[in-house]
Structure 1
Amino acid sequence: MKMTSIPRLVLTLTAGAALAAALSACVPLVVGGAAVGAGLVATDRRTSGAQLDDQGIELRGASRIREIANDQMNISVTSFNRQLLLTGTVATDADRRRAEAAVQGIDNVRSVVNEVRVGPGRSFQVRSNDTFITGKVKASLLDAKDLFANSFKIVTDDGVVYLMGLATRREVDRATDITRGVSGVQKVVRVVEVVSDAELAGQLRQGGTDAPAAAPSGSRVPLPPMDPVPAPASGGATITPVR
């Protein structure tokens, strides 16, 4: 086996394990985050504080949605750099609005992108395919020599791939093109915070520390302004149809 095939093999095995865990039980809500370990902190462009905040945002968001959930509500909660993404399905538009209202006001959330759809829940086959697509997109980004794969978090819902991340405009455009080329992808939605090369270099030089260090517990940590790609009318998400 060539050494270059090892990352793809690891991703494939990881995706399979995640699929088995995700589909082993029927639950109405999914939390998008994972435990923050030393390795993740070291390779993630988010500050360590932002990573911990994202984990807390997902847990609190899941709890709030669970309080209002019904049998037709299947919602995933994902946070990246304190931007919260809601995906999944609900039975009515009223439920969609209730879900967004439930997560509004969570500490340190900068914005909520509500991509929940009104319609029937996803079948086992669709959810399995979404997990498979996520794995393929991650592998494709990892294979790209001109991208830092950990700049993006991948979320797939019914063939729609959401790119969340902290990246330059060139990286966003490149990642979008790669994702469009993955078999099974129906559409790409970019929920990305765009930074300049200079801003990115400055963040990396800071070594992943939040500022100010003396910020009181529970307060919002100051962050640079968001620059969506391109600037949408509302919500912070840009829907890009597959070519």
Structure 2
Amino acid sequence: MFPVNSKTRPGAHAIRLGRSLLALLLAVVLSGCAAAVVGGAAVVATDRRTAGTMLDDQTLEVKVSDKIYGAPAFAGGDHVKVEVYQGVVLLLGEVTTEEKRVQAGTLASEVPYVKRVVNDLVVDNSATVGQRLDNTWLTTKVNTALVTKNPVSGFDATRIKVVTSRDTVYLMGLVSREEGDAVAEVARNVGGVAKVVKVFSYTD
């Protein structure tokens, strides 16, 4: 896990990070798993990451986001979404120039403990709130399909982190290659999905 600096002065970053870590820690301590609603029913989501790795990933999401939005170039007009799993950073959303797209990837890679950066930012500032809501609904549809279709016998599909942007589905998780291929195939057949990108960490 990350070293803790006891001399860090409290501020907006520290408060936001503290709240995020506390929420995740409580979820891990109280249940060891997370509850999710899929297709109108509650299911129990498990995670192959250790509690320490989950906390580290949550910390990295905050640090990478702060690093990018703390740069003068990202003053406005940009929408950068940061997702982290097993130290792998996924950048999604829209920026206004190619220079910003490249810079965001560079800034993310400079954050300590980042293993790899997948930069899928798009140079475009025309995305609407409605389009982003549509992608949230698509994420729900993919999650539902993974749970109901059970792509691999005995595999808990709620271990997969599904992120959607511009009708492209990104799959994150700690899986075997067989599990990853099967999950991707289910996602490809969900209506509205234009493309599937595997951002897995493999166990084999």
Match of 1:52 in 2: 55
Structure 2 unaligned blocks of 5 or more:
1-19, 35-45
The TM-score with structure 1 as length reference comes to 0.63
**Structure 1: 4+ residue segments shifted above 3 A:** 39-42
Aligned to 2:200, what secondary structure does the other structure show? strand
Match of 2:80 in 1: 75
Q: Does the CA-based 8 Å contact 2:167-2:194 persist in structure 1?
A: yes
Tell me if 1:159 matches 2:167: yes
- What is the deviation of 1:107? 2.2
Q: Does the CA-based 8 Å contact 2:68-2:107 persist in structure 1?
A: yes
Structure with the larger RCO, 1 or 2 (CA within 8 Å, 6+ apart)? 1
- What is the deviation of 1:162? 0.3
1:94 equivalent among 77, 94, 99 = 99
How many residues were matched structurally? 164
- What is the deviation of 1:47? 1.3
Post-superposition Cα deviations, 1:197-219, rounded to whole Å, max 9, x if no partner, equal: xxxxxxxxxxxxxxxxxxxxxxx
Q: Does the CA-based 8 Å contact 1:41-1:51 persist in structure 2?
A: no
Match of 2:120 in 1: 115
Distance 1:45 1:188 in 2: 22
- What is the deviation of 1:152? 1.4
- CA pair 165-175 structure 1, distance change in 2 beyond 3 A: same
Q: Does the CA-based 8 Å contact 2:143-2:158 persist in structure 1?
A: no
Match of 2:140 in 1: 135
The TM-score with structure 2 as length reference comes to 0.75
Aligned to 1:108, what secondary structure does the other structure show? coil
- What is the deviation of 1:41? 5.0
Q: Does the CA-based 8 Å contact 1:72-1:121 persist in structure 2?
A: no
Post-superposition Cα deviations, 1:81-115, rounded to whole Å, max 9, x if no partner, equal: 11010011111110001111222222221111111
Tell me if 1:149 matches 2:152: no
- What is the deviation of 1:40? 5.0
Distance 2:139 2:145 in 1: 10
Q: Identity, % of aligned pairs? A: 33
Kindly provide the amino acid, as one letter, of the partner of residue 195 in structure 1.
T
Q: CA RMSD in A?
A: 1.8
Kindly provide the amino acid, as one letter, of the partner of residue 60 in structure 2.
I
Post-superposition Cα deviations, 1:61-83, rounded to whole Å, max 9, x if no partner, equal: 11111112232211000000110
Distance 1:40 1:162 in 2: 25
Match of 2:189 in 1: 181
Distance 2:91 2:193 in 1: 19
Kindly provide the amino acid, as one letter, of the partner of residue 49 in structure 2.
R
Kindly provide the amino acid, as one letter, of the partner of residue 128 in structure 2.
S
- What is the deviation of 1:57? 0.2
